[in-house]
Amino acid sequence: MDIITKQKFAKMTDLACVKADSSIDDIKNMAEAANKWGFAGVYALSAHNDMLTELLKNNDRTFIGGAVGFPSGGVATSTKVYETRDLIEHGCGEIDMVINIAWLKAGKTDLLEKDIKEVIAAAGGKIVKAIIEVHYLSDDEIMSASRLAAGCGVSFIKTATGWAESGATLDRIRLIKKAISGTGCQIKAAGGIRDLETVNSMIALGVTRFGFGTETALKIIEEIKA
């Protein structure tokens, strides 16, 4: 049984064209879908945000999101801060930042916290989501990364950039939920979700935002009964 409507699914979903091979036509198709359905947000790599602004100029339902530190998360904190400020100056409504996975695995929590907190400060009150790229993490690391990022004050823990081989699964969502319980931080599930059944199961676990490519998002909308 569907537990969401087409409209609710759209408002819970960010569309993304952030791969190295995402084309101009892909970005135009994403904007067209957002204009039709009112998806929550749309993400492209930053060189394309001015074009997105033009394509969505008559759409007041969809924000343009900013991708920071894509795809590795390993750029300098100062670079992430610059990216964040520049993206917001160009109209981005929310920031999705990739954490520094090497620092997480090395136990360099002081550097990792500084990295996240400086992006939050640069965002000036805009929603910041920490992408922990679960494909590369053990279960314990998923929980550690989620707990640390939530403690820094991010609004969402996001599972994946879409560049890795895997992303959100029900088990990984359960781990994140357990790690951030009581913090007020939310979960954005992205990467590897392909059908409405999985979406419904993740909503039941507490997921409040999803990230999809345009084709998959439109496929799932068609699965939802009118």
Residues with a known catalytic role: 96, 158, 188
Please spell the DSSP secondary structure of 35-104, one letter per residue. Answer: HHH--SEEEE-GGGHHHHHHHTTT-SS-EEEEEESTTTS-S-HHHHHHHHHHHHHTT--EEEEE--HHHH
For residue 24, CA distances in Å to 14, 46, 90, 129 come to 18, 13, 19, 25
- The CA distance from 199 to 81, in Å, is 33
Tokens (6 digits) for 191: 């990467």
Q: In terms of Cα–Cα distance, which of 224, 206, 210 is closest to 41? A: 210
- The CA distance from 67 to 139, in Å, is 25
- Residue 155, SS3 per DSSP: coil
